[in-house]
């Protein structure tokens, strides 16, 4: 068994500690954060929305609106 050099051990330990500190946060959107607006390109609470029709960007979907 090969011994791990102190610097490599330190880097491994630092990487493990940092990776456990960084985590994703859950966001809950209630769809009343902004006024009625097209969702294509809209960013709310760090979430960016997009909407396309047949692969083309479209302003037809709206945030803070009712269903079809």
In this structure, is residue 15 part of a structural domain? Answer: no
The number of distinct structural domains making up the chain is 1
Query: Could you list the residue range(s) of the whole structural domain that residue 40 is in?
Result: 29-68
Strands (DSSP E) along 1-68, which ranges? 37-38, 43-44, 47-48, 52-53, 56-57, 62-63
Instruction: Tell me if 41 is assigned to some domain.
Output: yes
Residue 61 lies in a domain: yes
Residue 16 lies in a domain: no
The answer as to whether 60 is a domain residue is: yes
pLDDT (tens, 9 = 90+) of the chain, 68 residues, equals 456 677 887 788 777 776 655 556 777 888 888 889 999 999 998 889 999 999 999 999 988 887 66
Tell me, yes or no, whether 40 lies in a domain.
yes
């Amino acid at each position: 068994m090969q011994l791990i050099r102190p610097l490599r051990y330190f880097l491994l330990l630092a990487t493990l500690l940092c990776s456990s500190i960084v985590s994703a946060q859950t966001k809950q959107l209630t769809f009343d954060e902004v006024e009625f607006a097209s969702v294509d390109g809209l960013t709310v609470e760090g979430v960016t929305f997009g909407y396309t029709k047949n692969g083309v960007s479209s302003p037809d979907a709206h945030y803070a609106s009712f269903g079809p």
